[in-house]
């Protein structure tokens, strides 16, 4: 087992842990410990840390039995309220949890889930002996979500990953080649949408080959590249595995609704069409306003299907709304047309809505 000088890690963490506001520079940091975890965070947040650490210790023990690798004896978590991303350092057995993120609407929920995700990442790195390259990052992201949801008994939320994967496939963004280019595909943004391809790939072959297959793959990463590791773990070539995976995704039926938590589920409250009536050859912008709920809905989780052409579009953020642009080709006949909206939040809640737009003739 690797032995890391924990005191050195803590001292290094002191330099990277940034207080929540300027006047907090004089605040003290506090170390909170459990059997296998040491959390360092501002003293004023110590009650939050103690509360969360109980569940994180439970997750550590779950993970220690769920993957075929011995976890480090102690993991250091540094909680930073200004950092905009989280990072895991395999060699130093340490994690920095960045709390300044759009999805951190509920501090306890976010700190718990984000910490679990990074502990799971550290566990998978332990399994692969530190193998980490961009071309298989999507499988790390997928397996992390599977492990966290299994611990939380919320595996039903993974059902929405199939819907996202189906939409990505229709948009030409689902393939091993696309997922190998992790930065291009995800823009280095970790969210449920970007984890969905890895989730569905691993679930496909866990269902076909048994629960130990994903673990066998991560172990193989320490010896070979992605293609060879896939072949070693799943007994098929990468191209054959891709064909099986895509076939499984394409056969999946999109449900009308998936409710993990009714309090979190997306709720559409307003739609604005710009222009109200569009001419052939122009573009229609559709802007959506969703009600603020306990859940977190990102633009990454909103998809629009134009039923006139059966084309799927990914939404994007625009000022204070989520919007999508639908092209209306020259020659489109005047009339009323329908589009459908699928909104999937970070917890896997899925809601569908329908709307209409009008195409008018050119004078």
Asked whether residue 37 falls in the same domain as residue 186, the answer is yes
Asked whether residue 234 falls in the same domain as residue 272, the answer is no
pTM of this structure: 0.89
Average pLDDT over residues 150-172: 94
Asked whether residue 176 falls in the same domain as residue 71, the answer is yes
Asked whether residue 211 falls in the same domain as residue 316, the answer is no
Here the CATH number for the domain that contains residue 58 is: 1.10.390.10
Asked whether residue 246 falls in the same domain as residue 264, the answer is no
Here the CATH number for the domain that contains residue 349 is: 2.60.40.10
Does 1 map to a domain? no
Asked whether residue 270 falls in the same domain as residue 295, the answer is yes
- Using 50, 70 and 90 to split pLDDT, how confident is the model at 363? low
pLDDT digits (tens, 9 = 90+) for 197-216: 999 999 998 888 887 888 88
Asked whether residue 106 falls in the same domain as residue 240, the answer is yes
Q: Which of 250, 270, 292 is the last residue of a domain?
A: 250
Asked whether residue 326 falls in the same domain as residue 292, the answer is yes
Asked whether residue 110 falls in the same domain as residue 170, the answer is yes
Asked whether residue 243 falls in the same domain as residue 300, the answer is no
Can you give the residue range of the structural domain that contains 188? Answer: 6-250
Asked whether residue 117 falls in the same domain as residue 206, the answer is yes
The 3-state secondary structure of the chain reads CCCCCHHHHHHHHHHHCCCCCHHHHHCCEEEEECCCEEEEEEHHHHHHHHHHHHHHHHHHHHHHHHCCCCCCCCEEEEEECCCCCCEEECCCCEEEEECCCCCCCCHHHHHHHHHHHHHHHHHHHHHCCCCCCHHHHHHHHHHHHHHHHHHCCCHHHHHHHHHHHHHHHHCCCCCHHHHHCHHHHHCCCCCHHHHHHHHHHHHHHHHHHCCCHHHHHHHHCCCCCHHHHHHHHHCCCHHHHHHHHHHHHHCCCCCCEECCCCCCCCCEEEEEEECCEECCCCEEEEEEEECCCCCCCCHHHEEEEECCCCEEEECEEECCEEEEEEECCCCCCCEEEEEEEEEECCCCCEEEEEEEEEECCCC
Report the domain count for the chain. 2
- Using 50, 70 and 90 to split pLDDT, how confident is the model at 96? very high
Does 340 map to a domain? yes
Q: Which of 207, 228, 250 is the last residue of a domain?
A: 250
Could you give the percent of the chain with pLDDT greater than 70?
Answer: 92
Q: Which of 250, 272, 307 is the last residue of a domain?
A: 250
Asked whether residue 45 falls in the same domain as residue 146, the answer is yes
Does 218 map to a domain? yes
pLDDT digits (tens, 9 = 90+) for 299-326: 999 999 999 999 999 999 887 889 999 9
């Amino acid at each position: 087992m690797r032995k890391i000088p924990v005191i050195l890690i803590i001292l290094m963490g002191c330099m990277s842990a940034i207080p929540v506001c300027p006047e907090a520079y004089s605040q003290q940091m506090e170390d909170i410990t459990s059997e296998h975890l040491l959390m360092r965070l501002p003293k004023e947040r110590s009650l939050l840390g103690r509360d969360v650490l109980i569940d994180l210790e439970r997750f550590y023990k779950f993970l220690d039995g769920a993957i075929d690798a011995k976890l480090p004896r102690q993991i250091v978590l540094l909680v930073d309220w200004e950092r905009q991303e989280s990072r895991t350092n395999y060699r130093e057995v340490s994690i920095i949890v960045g709390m300044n993120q759009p999805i951190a609407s509920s501090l306890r929920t976010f700190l718990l889930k984000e910490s679990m995700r990074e502990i799971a990442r550290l566990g998978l790195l332990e399994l692969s002996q530190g193998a980490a390259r961009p071309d298989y990052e999507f499988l790390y992201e997928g397996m992390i979500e599977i492990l966290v949801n299994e611990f939380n008994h919320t595996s039903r939320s993974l059902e929405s990953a199939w819907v996202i994967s189906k939409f990505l496939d229709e948009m030409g963004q689902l393939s091993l080649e696309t997922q190998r280019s992790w930065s291009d595909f995800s823009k280095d943004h970790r969210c449920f949408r970007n984890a969905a391809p890895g989730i569905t790939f691993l679930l496909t072959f866990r269902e076909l080959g048994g629960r130990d297959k994903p673990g066998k793959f991560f172990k193989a990463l320490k010896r070979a590249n992605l293609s060879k590791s896939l072949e070693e773990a799943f007994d098929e070539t990468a191209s054959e595995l891709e064909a099986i995976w895509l076939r499984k995704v394409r056969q999946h039926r999109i449900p009308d609704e998936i409710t993990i938590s009714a309090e979190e589920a997306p709720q559409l409250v307003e739609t604005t069409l710009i222009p109200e009536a569009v001419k052939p050859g122009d573009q229609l912008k559709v802007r959506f306003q969703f009600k603020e709920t306990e859940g977190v809905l990102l633009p990454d989780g909103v998809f629009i299907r134009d039923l006139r052409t059966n084309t799927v579009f990914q939404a994007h953020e625009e000022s204070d709304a989520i919007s999508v642009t639908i092209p209306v080709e020259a020659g489109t006949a005047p009339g009323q047309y329908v589009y459908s909206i699928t909104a999937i939040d970070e917890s896997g809640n899925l809601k569908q809505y329908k709307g209409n737009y009008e195409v008018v003739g050119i004078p």
